[in-house]
Structure 1
Amino acid sequence: MQVEMVSTDAKDMVEVRYILSLREETLSSELTVSNLKSSSIQMRGGIISHLTVSTPEATFAYGLEGSDFYNRPVFLSNFGIVPPDLSQKRGFGSGQLWGNLGFNGFLTGWDARNQKNGDKGNDSLIESEEMEGEENDNYKNLTEEMSRIYTSAPRDFTIIDRGRRNSVVVGREGFEELYIFSPGSSRESYGMYSFICVGQSAMLKPVTLNPGDAWTGSQHLHNPNL
């Protein structure tokens, strides 16, 4: 099964094409950005996936030893669940609604938010750890709260959930950075809804597109246990 979504911003002359493909054992997310302008643009953003897990204590990231990382505030999304009659109530057209909730946020929302807040979000998480470092554990337990961008991670690594006796191989193309977030095990409210986030990003080093250029980045989640 394959779903394709396309947004063309006529004013800014940038096209974003997103393709979600579901195969027997693999879920792939592919993002293509085309610059139709006569000047260069920079793109910041990423593809983030939520994975349900048994507990953070039983969840491990395998294969990241030696990768450089930066601790960063948790990524916040500008996307939301929109009631079908919202555009009529507020007088938005479909193009305006997409621009306000999605396209502009994908390109600039994270930067603008952190400039406004002075990058002070999640102070407790950032202050409790070194801002940057090198992963020294090849079997990284995700029981502690963490929000990291790995800048030299391998193209493929594995999330292992020993509680469910399950694993997911996470692969990427195009993106140079890997993002991992774990809420840790200290928050009882998660309970049966325990999760972690993994994703591919271009946050620390934005992608530059010259006039007429197109860039593609993708993430692949492969479940070999099916």
Structure 2
Amino acid sequence: MNMMAFSLLFCSTRFIPTPFLSTATNLLSPQHNCASFIPQKKQCKREFPLPAVASVPYEPINFEYLQEEFSGHGVTFEEACGSCVVKMELRNGSTVTMMLPSGLITSYKALMWHGGKVELLHTSVSEGENGDPLIQGGVSLNFNFQTDHDGELSWSPTNWVLHKIHGKPRESIQVELATRTPDDKIGLRYIVTLEKDTLNSELKISNRRSLPLQVTGSILNHLTLSSPEATYAIGLEGSSYCSIPLFESEFMLSPKDSSQGEGFGKVFPQWSTKSENNGLEGSQVNNEEIDNYKQLSEELSLLYTEAPRSFTVIDRGRRNSVSVGRSGFDEMYLFSPGSRVEIYSKYSYICVGQASILKPIIISPQDVWRGEQFIYNPNLDA
């Protein structure tokens, strides 16, 4: 799909979870096309206003300013009816596509040993409420910030602005996003770096409050596969884990009839009540991974509390492998819809999350926390 057609999918900045999604291979289901989702381009802003119910309303994007101030360094922009598609492209052909203001990474096409490119992320687009286009999958940030002693939700970041871009298309490209609370007491920087063989996502959280800041959440990655039946996780032997209810984010793609249940209040990071979380913690049964070559054909929703800082996912169907690693996060989440999904279907993926769920991140007053993850493409070395 060319860039212009891709950008037209995102005429609305409203993203609402739904289990009915189109296939990832075509992005749009056969019964829908771009015209069915959106009116003529000149009418987009009038027909698709920003949602009034949003906890943090999206601010209008000054597209001309972005082009004038940030174009270059291997980065281009496409207007999408109030949203913006940011595309990073290296000279070797590897590309990353990101949406503003949501910060959702929708595509990572990596160069392979044979000279072609392969999409490593799984993203689905469908029709949401009121006919608005809905996108789920990819790489997303999902965090809660709590400062009150009773654990009440303080703030969740949803609105990112472009802060800076630097790098060289021959080597690496770095895009830095920023957001903050209305009182400027909590600040976040989200730094996405594309290198020849790696996509790196780094998060910096600054606590300028007088009280410690408690952070829970994850970076969620949807990795596209031929089928979970043909997919194996390598390197988890000896890791401690527990089964947990399926948790969801605004952008997480999960089958409607998953046996894992509704998760943490249906939508993560909008957690359910404190008592429900305590009940989850009290009912855990720790297990030890005994298989170093773990087939992901079963339906599973696992939280690894002790696991290597990186492991490898091998897809025999695509003859492809990807390594996923982290720093700063103590936990790793692994979800698979299982082998009941059809091969190359909209649910042919696994979800890997670098997480702090059972063990929250505690940031002292006037301190900065850093965490990051990487998706490494080893196929250039083949």
- TM-score, normalization by structure 1: 0.77
1:202 aligns with 2:374: no
Does the Cα contact within 8 Å between 2:218 and 2:355 map onto a contact in 1? yes
1:11 aligns with 2:183: yes
Question: Deviations along 1:109-134, whole A, 9 cap, x unmatched?
Answer: 74753328946xxxxxx9xxx84311
User: Which SS does the other structure have where 1:48 is aligned?
Assistant: strand
CA RMSD of aligned residues (A): 2.4
Partner of 2:318: 164
1:178 aligns with 2:332: yes
Does the Cα contact within 8 Å between 1:64 and 1:153 map onto a contact in 2? yes
User: Which SS does the other structure have where 2:175 is aligned?
Assistant: strand
Higher helix share: 1
- Write the mapping of 1:1-226 to structure 2, written as runs, cut at 5 A: 1-11=173-183, 13-78=185-250, 110=268, 112-115=270-273, 118=276, 131-188=285-342, 191=345, 193-226=347-380
Does the Cα contact within 8 Å between 1:172 and 1:219 map onto a contact in 2? yes
Identity %: 51
Q: Which has the larger Rg?
A: 2
Partner of 1:98: none
- Identify unmatched segments of 5+ residues in structure 1: 81-108, 120-125
Question: Deviations along 1:86-126, whole A, 9 cap, x unmatched?
Answer: xxxxxxxxxxxxxxxxxxxxxxx74753328946xxxxxx9
User: Which SS does the other structure have where 1:191 is aligned?
Assistant: coil
How many pairs were matched up?
A: 189
State the structure with bigger RCO (CA 8 A, min sep 6), 1 or 2: 1
Structure 1 pair 186–41 and aligned structure 2 pair: CA distance change class (3 A) = same
| Mapped partners of 2:333, 2:366: distance in 1 | 29
Does the Cα contact within 8 Å between 1:49 and 1:199 map onto a contact in 2? yes
Question: Deviations along 1:174-203, whole A, 9 cap, x unmatched?
Answer: 111111110101234972651111121011
1:12 Cα deviation from its structure 2 partner? 6.3
Does the Cα contact within 8 Å between 2:333 and 2:353 map onto a contact in 1? yes
